[in-house]
Every structure is written in structure tokens, then in C-alpha cells.
Amino acid sequence: MLANVLLSLALACSASAAPLVAPSFPTVAKRDNSPFNITYSSPRNATYDSLPRLLIMATGGTIAGSSTSNTDSTAYTAGAIGVAALVEAVPELLETAQIDGVQVANVGSNSLSDAIALNISKLATKAVCGDDAPYDAVVITHGTDTLEETAFFLDITVNCSAPIVVVGAMRPATAISADGPNNLLSAARTAVSPLSRDRGTLITLNDRICSAFFCQKTEANTLDTFESPEFGCLGHLLSVQPFYHYPPSMPTFKKVYDISKVQSLPPVEIIYGFQGSDFHLVKSAVESGAKGVVTAGTGAGSLSTAGQPLIDSVIAQGIPVVRSTKINSGFVAPSTNATTIAGGVFNPVKTRRMLQVLLALGKTNDEIRAAFEEPLGSYLTQF
Ligand SMILES: *[C@@H]1O[C@H](CO)[C@@H](O)[C@H](O)[C@H]1NC(C)=O
Ligand SMILES: *[C@@H]1O[C@H](CO)[C@@H](O)[C@H](O)[C@H]1NC(C)=O
Ligand SMILES: *[C@@H]1O[C@H](CO)[C@@H](O)[C@H](O)[C@H]1NC(C)=O
Ligand SMILES: *[C@@H]1O[C@H](CO)[C@@H](O)[C@H](O)[C@H]1NC(C)=O
Ligand SMILES: *[C@@H]1O[C@H](CO)[C@@H](O)[C@H](O)[C@H]1NC(C)=O
């Protein structure tokens, strides 16, 4: 009885809800992929030519990892397999999109440099933004260790509606039950779905789709690791097809920055807080060339009394110090008269990326403070 009531309620609700109909992609006449140095192209014929055009940018990582043992998930070589082998391992991809592949790097993501990250952002913009962009969507295969850093960087620097999906794997390609093939197909199907437009950069692993703005790695070893604590995922993959829980929306306060003229990202260090820490490494960071410092402080970004004078001394030299939290979840809210800048909702690595972007754009320290603090600060002072 109750089940029937619930069923009819559910039917009544679904009858009034907007139907989940996929709009079609805008068609683009021009297809000039020459600037991309494509190293792999999927087979084309009359059937495949009607599929959306997808650029896969491969960077290495565990998804391209190889080991001599099929039980090895700790001592394998990351970034051993090229983009063609990745795609050819998943024949379903050929029915999903017309695929071109480019090998942007082939490294474990802990070795992925700022220069490579900058290249990825510019290449993704060239691939999908603008009227004559040659692709409909981009998938980036990436090591999971720093996947959230690249994904967040793309989210705040690529300014268009086209889907950009970052994907990795927790088990190397040679492992029993390797997760890479399913994750890659998930990423491709998510990327070519028009339902994925206007959602910013996305991350797909383990049958979840999450927003790069909030998503982070939460567990060092298991497949079930990319999550958005507090914010939840945007959708799931059901039978490897994207299903979104809500229509497209952007995170509150999200802003995109134009980095088309940026040639390099300035060095920014992260310094970890702990009981009794005096943050003396802040001084070494600046002496070794850091143009900004992020503190991964305790709790809501608190710094020790002993650390404050040292931190103030580098701020006096013009170095911005932005407080984040080693908790990796929750807010560091602006506080009156603080010499440091409150990082807001970003975890330390995302705070670092944001600070790098602002510094690269030549923002003053007041502008950097405003970029981090003003949206949340002006919201809070309404009360
Ligand atoms: C493509 O290759 C050419 C020639 O090697 C090089 O000048 C260009 O920068 C490359 N483009 C990209 C996007 O890597
Ligand atoms: C294109 O190739 C696929 C795979 O071989 C095949 O299923 C499909 O029928 C082909 N389409 C045409 C028009 O030849
Ligand atoms: C970035 O891309 C340019 C070509 O656009 C290439 O010359 C350069 O080597 C790339 N940098 C890195 C670090 O891969
Ligand atoms: C992003 O694109 C929109 C629409 O094309 C444009 O109005 C806006 O100025 C762009 N923002 C940046 C930061 O380039
Ligand atoms: C902030 O600084 C002003 C001026 O020095 C002082 O009057 C005020 O008490 C300070 N507020 C807090 C919360 O420390």
C-alpha cells in the first residue's frame, strides 16, 4: 500500500518535472585540428562522422600505468602507456565520439609541472572555446594524485560552455579489475553529452561525476576516492551513461580568469600547520623564490601565536599569505584586521592554484585579498 502511494507520488512528481531530453550540440562547420599535433585518430566512416568530436589529452598517470604483475597497485610505473593504447583498450569509445588524441605529457601527476598545467588549459581553450573551435568536448587523462589541482585550474581558467572532463584511475592498466577503461568511457560519454555543458570542469571516476570546483581525492588507495565533501556529486554514471541530479549550475562565487596572455605561473608554496608550529618555513619559502604562500592551517585556518610575527615579516615584504585549512573541508572565513588573506572554501592545493592565477595576472595584494575574501565577506556582513 505504502509502496503504491510512494510509486504514484513518484510518478506524479516525474510527470511534472522537466523531461530529461538531451539537446543537440551546436554544429561547427570548420574542423581544423592542425595546431594540436594529433598522435592518434580513431577510425572514421560515414557512421562515425556524425558523432561528436572529442579531443583526448593524455598526460600519463596510473590510468596509463603498467606493471609486470597483475596484482600490483603500489609499485607500478605511471605514465607508461600512450594515448592510442588507452583508447584502443575500450572499443566502445569508437561509438561514442570521433576521437583525436594528443600526448601532452606522460608523467605521474606528482611530476606534472605548472608549465604543463598551463599548456593543458590553453590547449583545452583552443580545442573547444570560440565559434571555430574544432572539438565539441575534451577529456584529459591524468594521474589521480594531483588530478584535482589541474581540474580546478581548468575550472577557473577555461571560459566556455563546452564540457571538459578530467579522468584517472586508481589501478594501473595491467591490474585485475583495472578501473581505467570504465572511467575513460565514463569520461568520454560524459564529455559528449550536451547535458554536461555549462557545468564547469568535471571529474569522473568510479561512476560519479563531480564538479572540479569542489571535488578532491579523499582516500589514498581505494577506487572510491574522488568526492566533494559537503557538496556531493553532480551526477552518476548509470550503465556508463551520465545522469545528473540537477540541471546545470555554477558554484556560488565562482569566477573564471582569462590567462591567454600568461606565460608562466609564479611559484607558490604550501606550509602545513600543526600543534606548536612556528611556521618558520614561511621564511625559507620566500627566500627560495616563492611569490606567495598558502598555509594549510589547523581547524578553520588558524595560525599559532608564535608563527604570526614571522608570517607578518614576509607580508611586510609584499608576499601575500593566504590561509587555508589542512582539514580539506569547510571554510576559512575573513576576519577583521587579519594581515593574512582568508582562503574561503578552497582546500590548500586549490588555494595555491587560485593564488598563482591571481599573481600571474599581476593583481595587487589588495586585489588578491578582494578576490578571495570579498564574495564571502560581503555576504557575511549583510547580517
Ligand atoms: C606542434 O608541433 C609544432 C612543431 O613541432 C610546435 O611548434 C607546436 O608548438 C606544437 N603545438 C602544440 C600545441 O604542442
Ligand atoms: C563504420 O564502422 C563500424 C565499425 O566497423 C560499422 O559498424 C559501421 O557500420 C560502419 N559504418 C559505415 C557507414 O560503413
Ligand atoms: C607547452 O607547449 C608548448 C607548445 O605549445 C611546447 O613547446 C612546450 O614544450 C610545452 N611545455 C611543456 C612543459 O610541456
Ligand atoms: C567569458 O566569456 C564570456 C562570454 O563569451 C565573456 O563575456 C567574458 O568576458 C569572459 N570572461 C573572461 C574572464 O574572459
Ligand atoms: C582593528 O583595528 C582597529 C584599528 O587599529 C581597531 O580599532 C580594532 O579594534 C581592531 N579590530 C579587531 C577585531 O581587532
Check pocket membership of 129 for ligand 4, CB cut-off 6 A.
Answer: no
Query: Is-contact 183 170, C-beta < 8 A?
Result: no
Confidence band, pLDDT 50/70/90 cuts, at residue 237: very high
- What's the CA gap between 59 and 342, in Å, rounded? 33
- What's the CA gap between 46 and 48, in Å, rounded? 6
Question: Three-class SS of residue 203?
Answer: strand
H or E element in which residue 115 lies: helix 114-128
Per DSSP, 18 falls in state P
Query: Is-contact 188 182, C-beta < 8 A?
Result: no
Three-state SS string across 298-346, please?
A: ECCCECCCCHHHHHHHHHHCCCCEEEEECCCCCCECCCCCCCCEECECC
Ligand 3 atom 12, closest CA:
116
Check pocket membership of 50 for ligand 2, CB cut-off 6 A.
Answer: no
Percent of the chain residues topping a pLDDT of 70: 91
Give distance in angstroms: CA of 119 to centre of ligand 3. Answer: 6
The DSSP string of 351-375 is HHHHHHHHHHTT--HHHHHHHHHHH
| Residue range 292-325, pLDDT digits in tens | 999 999 999 999 999 999 999 999 999 999 999 9
The ligand whose atoms approach the alpha carbon of 39 most closely is 1
Give distance in angstroms: CA of 158 to centre of ligand 1. Answer: 20
Q: Which residues line ligand 5 (CB under 6 A)?
A: 336-337
Question: Given a cut of 90, is residue 78 above it in pLDDT?
Answer: no
> Looking at residue 72, what is its pLDDT?
82
- What's the CA gap between 154 and 170, in Å, rounded? 22
Range with top average pLDDT, 16-25, 76-85, 140-149: 140-149
Q: Can you tell me the mean pLDDT for 102-108?
A: 90
Q: Which of 33, 37, 104 to mutate to test the pocket of ligand 1 (most atoms within 8 A of CB)?
A: 37
Identify the weakest region by mean pLDDT among 99-103, 325-329, 364-368.
99-103
Give distance in angstroms: CA of 334 to centre of ligand 5. Answer: 14
Catalytic residue among 39, 47, 62, 381: 62
Ligand 5 atom 8, closest CA:
337
Is residue 62 flagged as an active site residue?
yes
Give distance in angstroms: CA of 259 to centre of ligand 3. Answer: 16
* Beta strands 226-227 and 208-211, pairing class: unpaired
Ligand 3 atom 6, closest CA:
119
pTM, entire model: 0.91
Task: Show Cβ contacts of residue 19 under 8 Å, excluding neighbours closer than 6 positions.
Answer: none
Q: Which atom of ligand 3 is nearest to the CA of 122?
A: 5
Give distance in angstroms: CA of 68 to centre of ligand 4. Answer: 48
Ligand 2 atom 11, closest CA:
47
Task: Show Cβ contacts of residue 238 under 8 Å, excluding neighbours closer than 6 positions.
Answer: 207
Q: Can you tell me the mean pLDDT for 74-84?
A: 83
Confidence band, pLDDT 50/70/90 cuts, at residue 26: very low
Check pocket membership of 119 for ligand 3, CB cut-off 6 A.
Answer: yes
> Looking at residue 2, what is its pLDDT?
45
Query: Is-contact 371 255, C-beta < 8 A?
Result: yes
Question: Given a cut of 90, is residue 115 above it in pLDDT?
Answer: yes
Ligand 1 atom 13, closest CA:
36
Question: HSE on the CB side for 305, CA within 13 Å?
Answer: 0
Percent of the chain residues topping a pLDDT of 90: 73
> Looking at residue 66, what is its pLDDT?
80
